[in-house]
Amino acid sequence: MRAFPDLVRPGRVGLLFGADHAAHVAGVPSARALRDPAIMARSILHARSLYDHDLVIVHSDALLGLEALGGRMAFPEHGPPMLVSRPVSPPPRPLDPWRDGRMPLLLEAACRVRRGVSAETAVAVSLTGPFTLAAAVGGESSFLALLPRLGARERDLMDCAVESTIRAVNAARGEGLGVMVAEPLVSLLGPSVFVDLIVPSLRRVLAGPDAIVHICGDSSHLLPHLSSLTAGAFSLDQVDLVEASRVVRGHAVVMGGLAPEMVRTGTPECIQRAAADLLWRVGDCFIPCTGCDLVWDTPVANVQAFMRGARSAPAQLPAGEVRPA
C-alpha cells in the first residue's frame, strides 16, 4: 500500500464547517468572523478545542471565491454570507489570492490556525474548484444548461477559474498549508462531462497527491473515474463509502461520514453510534469526517458525539450498533 501524505494520513479525524459555525460556538457574530482573520482564527481554534479533530479544514464560506472575482455579498449577523450580485461582466483577469476580496483574510486566518495547533495536527485551506467557481460567476443554471458544450464566454470563465484556483492553491502551499478543492456542482454532471471537463481542470489545479477533493451530493456515478485524479483523499457526501473505499484503495483515502443534517438534528447517542458503525464498516484507508459543512447552528454536543464515535475502537461501539454480515 502506498504511503499517503501526512495531510491525509489514515487514522486522522476531520470536520467540515465554515467560519459561521466556528463563530457560533465561539459566541461571536459570524459577520465579524467572516471579515476579520484574527476573529476567524480564534473561532476555529476554539471549535477545535471543543472537538479535538486533527485534520482542520480552514473554510470561510462558499462565496469567498466568487467575491474575489467581483461578486458582492451581504453579511448577516449569524449564518453564512448571502449573494447580492454576481460580477457585472466576466472578470478581466484571474484573482490575486493576496489582494482580491477576502482571499487574503482566509490565508492569514489559516496561518494563524496552523501556528495555534500542535505539529501533529494537519491544517488545510478549503478552496472552491474551477468548475464551481466558473459556474458561480456565470450563473449556475445557465452554465449547466449549456453542457456538454460550453460557449466562448463560459470557456473563458473556466480558464479564468482554473488559473484563479491554481494561484490560490500555490499561495496556500507556499505558506505550508494543505489544500482542499471543493467542487460541489460536479455531482450534477454525467460521467462523460466529468471525464472531459472536470478531470483535466482538476489535474491542472491539484498538481500532486497532497490535496483533498471534495464533492457534494450523490456522486456514486462518478466513483469509477476518481482514480483519474492524483488527489490524496476524496471527501464524499451522499455515497456508499464502503464502495468508494474499494474503488480508490491503494490510490487515495476516502473521507466522509454523516450527513450534516443528521449531526444537527439527531440525538448524541444516535450520532455516536452511526459514526462508530461507519468506522467499523469502512475500515482502513478512511478518514471519518462529516459529509459536508456543518450547519452553522449545529449543537456542540452533537459534534462531540460524532467525534467520540469516529475515534472509537470496535470494542467500544455503543450498544445497539449494526455491524456488517
Q: Which domains does the chain have, with CATH numbers?
A: 6-316 (3.20.20.210)
Helix or strand (DSSP H, E) at 213: strand 211-215
Note the pLDDT of residue 4.
53
- Give the position of cell 450534516: 260
Note the pLDDT of residue 319.
44
pLDDT tens digit string along 197-252?
Answer: 999 999 999 977 789 999 999 999 999 999 899 899 999 999 999 999 999 888 88
Note the pLDDT of residue 74.
97
Note the pLDDT of residue 90.
67
Where do the H-state alpha helices sit in the chain? Answer: 19-26, 30-33, 37-51, 64-68, 103-115, 130-138, 140-145, 152-174, 191-193, 199-206, 241-248, 260-265, 268-282, 300-310
Q: Beta 178-182 vs 211-215: how paired, if at all?
A: parallel
User: Does the CA dihedral 114-117-119-125 come out positive or negative?
Assistant: negative
Q: Which residue did the predictor score with more confidence, 42 or 258?
A: 42
Query: How many residues does the structure list for the chain?
Result: 325
- Give the position of cell 454532471: 189
In this prediction the pTM is 0.92
Give the strands of the sheet with 233-236, arranged side by side.
14-15, 55-58, 122-128, 178-182, 211-215, 233-236, 253-256, 286-288
Note the pLDDT of residue 11.
85
Give the mean pLDDT of the chain.
Answer: 91
pLDDT tens digit string along 134-157?
Answer: 999 999 998 999 888 888 888 999
Chain-centroid distance of CA 116 in Å reads 21
pLDDT tens digit string along 162-192?
Answer: 999 999 999 999 999 999 999 999 999 999 9
Contacts of 173 (CB under 8 A, 6+ apart): 179
Q: What is the distance between the alpha carbons of residues 130 and 5, in angstroms, rounded to a whole number? A: 23
Note the pLDDT of residue 5.
64
Mean pLDDT to the nearest integer, 100-128? 96
